[in-house]
Chains A and B, each alone.
Chain A
């Protein structure tokens, strides 16, 4: 941001003065430079900007527009009924009409909060379960031992696998007659009463365990990369001073990979809000939404139930949540981490 502003300010007087100084060869050359610079910027930024406007800004603005209408996706949009914030009200508090509120609470508000609740539960559990787990594994692996590269590849493999393939694979594993059921029986347990995925209580936990398996590898690899940047001198010095392995991790390694942990946390939060592929493959968020997410709910209602206005309202809510988190991250944590990085250098 700073670089752009500085160059802009420096060029402005030159551009203004250029017309009056046509006879001055130095100023004319400077003017040519300025024009060239603007042309270069236009050439390099232009195509990306056009794509961004057409494929990002326009759809977002369209979704915001659709979200104000009752539209079945079949008739022309020009025939749709404008209903203001009603779609948002249906999702958030049962609509604006007290007469239909009870029915709307059952039909719209409850499934919406159920789905959003799952997103936030996954965010919370990522921090409470995946983070310590990934840190523990990364710190354990952060040393030289035979087969280190192979272990890292194995840990990272689930993350590389496509969501759809992984989803189908776990569906087979968690089939009522699958390996998971046999394993549970072998250790004296049984499958949850309603099935691994469909049980009202256990369905969510089954899916969360799959998500953990799928994404913990990314955290481990990021943390290992961060750890490789921590100077060995610091660790050796601490060891000479009598610090235990635990103290070295707690006092040196973990604080020094703080920025990596925070960028992972950010990616994990945004990923949790947008979680879709996996839950969709696993029967579209569950027959009664036991593990639905806001994205699967949006797809279910907007696309398959052809309630495009309401579906767009859900999309906008999801966008606003992601956007708020992104802005918060950039204005506080990222700025702080970048600033610290610069001062350390």
Chain B
């Protein structure tokens, strides 16, 4: 008996290892599209559940979550028959666990965070998302090109509430110290600036390669400039046979050869602590960083939060678009970008689309800019953008030939994750330009 008990307990111990991968089981529940509400909101009592990623940060402040509370309250005041139940969920939990399991269970939130690209496409193919093309056609026209990442095969499955392009953040005082007089517009000029900064004893560029994606963004931009527009915009079809994908890796290897990054960049994270890439830039220990618009807030998080310190930082913080390579097949004025949006579940009541329309309305977008500081999607709200550097980023987006969604989001977690792993191996010196394309091709061959 003792042996049996022990055998069982030891077996249980071994068996538990398999639990991790199977913690999320599927209920094989197909969404019932026939039961979805009518296209127009009614006066009947409805409850909308809303999952978003506006959670409190380290300081306890939650400007985004507070603003969404306000937006929901305002909407409910105008629509007494609608009750909105909000759940704030940390971004990674929301994207990787909560939304996929909720969708598969058939008991999904009505309105939920949507990042667009490959993952949204997979959700749409599984029949989870409401087709918003006709019901929100006016909003889609009003918001313009930024909606594209929330569309698949000509159908709109979500709307963004913020969208921005990435570029190089830099500290003008360090540029001045190194004798750099103008913002680099080509890779040659960037290489010269890197050398000037090194000569002045300043770390030219910070990168948080330990988080993988910040390093990968350099490759994305080289791909954007090496690949013709039709090749890069159809990357989601998983055809990586064009030589421009290998060329992107070659460009990166060449750039890494100039040693532009800080020491120990493989051990550096992007946003946490004074030794993170953002910390290095905030503390003027590095001159530049390639990052999205959100770093406007991340840098401020390293100050003590006082108006004086934030103003001092903003006075010595500027931005320029990613410099163009020479001779690439891509459009040198194209930009990488991304944003956040929301989708409605296929079975959600019609009020979901109406509320989403309210979220992206000009007034709510203007309020979003004022309360949160992000860059709006609604063109009419752009006049609310106050900071010169944000105005510059907004202008760069509108001047870009086209904006390509972050490649990892565009390709989805499987192929996108494989790509990021391949790119970071180049940074670590264990991979090369060809192996990035190899791992992308392999992952694409297994992707559904």
B25 touching A319, Cβ below 8 Å:
no
Contacts of B424 in A (CB 8 A): 287-288
A62 on interface, CB distance cutoff 8 Å? yes
Residues of B203-235 contacting chain A, CB below 8 A: 209-210, 212
B428 touching A312, Cβ below 8 Å:
no
Contacts of A273 in B (CB 8 A): 17
B446 touching A310, Cβ below 8 Å:
yes
Find the A residue at minimum CB distance from B104: A76
A200 touching B430, Cβ below 8 Å:
yes
Known: A287-B209, A295-B20, A314-B21. A176 touches B275 (CB 8 A): yes
A177 touching B275, Cβ below 8 Å:
yes
Contacts of A57 in B (CB 8 A): 15
Known: A70-B446, A287-B209, A310-B446. A77 touches B26 (CB 8 A): yes
Known: A59-B18, A78-B28. A106 touches B446 (CB 8 A): no
Contacts of A334 in B (CB 8 A): 6
A344 on interface, CB distance cutoff 8 Å? no
Residues of B1-41 contacting chain A, CB below 8 A: 1, 3-4, 6-8, 10-26, 28-30
B430 touching A72, Cβ below 8 Å:
no
Find the B residue at minimum CB distance from A101: B442
Known: A107-B439, A305-B414. A319 touches B18 (CB 8 A): yes
A1 touching B22, Cβ below 8 Å:
no
Contact string, A51-94, partner B, CB cutoff 8 A, digits 1/0? Answer: 01001110110110010001111111111110000000010000
Known: A75-B126, A196-B267. A319 touches B17 (CB 8 A): yes
Q: How far is the CA of A319 from the CA of B30 in the complex (A)?
A: 31
Residues of B406-420 contacting chain A, CB below 8 A: 412-414, 417-418
B136 on interface, CB distance cutoff 8 Å? no
Interface residues on B, range: 35 or more
Known: A194-B266, A295-B20, A319-B17. A288 touches B28 (CB 8 A): no
Known: A74-B122, A107-B418, A307-B446. A323 touches B20 (CB 8 A): no
B100 on interface, CB distance cutoff 8 Å? yes
Q: Indicate the member of B8, B266, B275 with the most A CB atoms within 10 Å.
A: B266
B425 on interface, CB distance cutoff 8 Å? yes
A319 touching B428, Cβ below 8 Å:
no
A231 on interface, CB distance cutoff 8 Å? no
Q: How far is the CA of A84 from the CA of B220 in the complex (A)?
A: 35
Q: How far is the CA of A307 from the CA of B208 in the complex (A)?
A: 26
Contact string, A156-191, partner B, CB cutoff 8 A, digits 1/0? Answer: 000000000000000000011100000000000001
Q: Which of B122, B421, B435 is close to A72, meaning CB atoms less than 8 Å apart?
A: B122
Contact string, B427-443, partner A, CB cutoff 8 A, digits 1/0? Answer: 11111000100110111
Known: A176-B267, A195-B266, A319-B17. A100 touches B445 (CB 8 A): yes
Contacts of B104 in A (CB 8 A): 74, 76-77
Known: A80-B448, A107-B439. A288 touches B18 (CB 8 A): no
A330 on interface, CB distance cutoff 8 Å? yes
A326 touching B11, Cβ below 8 Å:
yes
A250 on interface, CB distance cutoff 8 Å? no
Known: A56-B15, A195-B267, A306-B412. A79 touches B126 (CB 8 A): yes
A217 on interface, CB distance cutoff 8 Å? no
Interface residues on A, range: 35 or more
Find the A residue at minimum CB distance from B427: A287
Contacts of A306 in B (CB 8 A): 96, 100, 119, 412-414, 417
B447 on interface, CB distance cutoff 8 Å? yes
Q: How far is the CA of A12 from the CA of B269 in the complex (A)?
A: 67
A75 touching B439, Cβ below 8 Å:
no
B264 on interface, CB distance cutoff 8 Å? yes
B446 touching A323, Cβ below 8 Å:
no
Find the A residue at minimum CB distance from B121: A74
Quote the shortest CB–CB distance from A185 to chain B (angstroms): 14
Contacts of B448 in A (CB 8 A): 70-72, 75, 80-81
A-B contact count, CB below 8 Å? 195
Q: How far is the CA of A314 from the CA of B18 in the complex (A)?
A: 9
A63 touching B210, Cβ below 8 Å:
no
Q: How far is the CA of A104 from the CA of B414 in the complex (A)?
A: 14
Find the B residue at minimum CB distance from A199: B266
Contacts of B78 in A (CB 8 A): none
B357 on interface, CB distance cutoff 8 Å? no
Q: How far is the CA of A319 from the CA of B11 in the complex (A)?
A: 10
A315 on interface, CB distance cutoff 8 Å? yes
Quote the shortest CB–CB distance from B131 to chain A (angstroms): 17
A245 on interface, CB distance cutoff 8 Å? no
Q: Which of B7, B17, B443 is close to A330, meaning CB atoms less than 8 Å apart?
A: B7
A63 touching B22, Cβ below 8 Å:
yes
Contacts of A77 in B (CB 8 A): 26, 28, 104
B414 touching A307, Cβ below 8 Å:
yes
Quote the shortest CB–CB distance from B27 to chain A (angstroms): 9
Quote the shortest CB–CB distance from B390 to chain A (angstroms): 31
Contacts of B13 in A (CB 8 A): 270, 322, 326
B43 on interface, CB distance cutoff 8 Å? no
Q: How far is the CA of A329 from the CA of B3 in the complex (A)?
A: 12
Contacts of A323 in B (CB 8 A): 11, 14-15
A62 touching B3, Cβ below 8 Å:
no
Find the B residue at minimum CB distance from A309: B446
B138 on interface, CB distance cutoff 8 Å? no
Quote the shortest CB–CB distance from B182 to chain A (angstroms): 33
Q: How far is the CA of A306 from the CA of B26 in the complex (A)?
A: 14
Find the A residue at minimum CB distance from B106: A76
Find the B residue at minimum CB distance from A83: B446
Q: Which of B22, B29, B266, B431 is close to A59, meaning CB atoms less than 8 Å apart?
A: B22
B123 on interface, CB distance cutoff 8 Å? yes
Q: How far is the CA of A177 from the CA of B429 in the complex (A)?
A: 23
Residues of A81-137 contacting chain B, CB below 8 A: 81, 90, 100, 102-104, 106-108
B3 touching A315, Cβ below 8 Å:
no
B252 on interface, CB distance cutoff 8 Å? no
Q: Choose, from A144-152, A254-262, A296-304, the stretch at the interface.
A: A296-304
User: Which residue numbers of B lie inside 8 Å of A, CB to CB?
Assistant: 1, 3-4, 6-8, 10-26, 28-30, 96, 100, 103-104, 119, 122-123, 125-126, 209-210, 212, 263-264, 266-267, 275, 412-414, 417-418, 421, 424-425, 427-431, 435, 438-439, 441-443, 445-448
Q: A63-B21, A176-B264, A304-B413 provided; 18 other pairs, C-beta below 8 A?
A: A56-B12, A60-B18, A77-B28, A77-B104, A104-B442, A108-B442, A176-B267, A177-B275, A274-B17, A287-B210, A287-B428, A302-B21, A303-B21, A306-B417, A315-B17, A322-B14, A326-B13, A330-B6
List 29 A-B pairs, Cβ < 8 Å: A1-B3, A55-B19, A56-B15, A56-B19, A60-B15, A63-B18, A74-B119, A74-B126, A76-B126, A100-B445, A103-B438, A103-B445, A104-B442, A106-B442, A107-B418, A176-B275, A195-B267, A198-B428, A200-B429, A287-B209, A298-B21, A299-B20, A302-B21, A307-B414, A310-B446, A312-B22, A316-B18, A326-B11, A330-B6
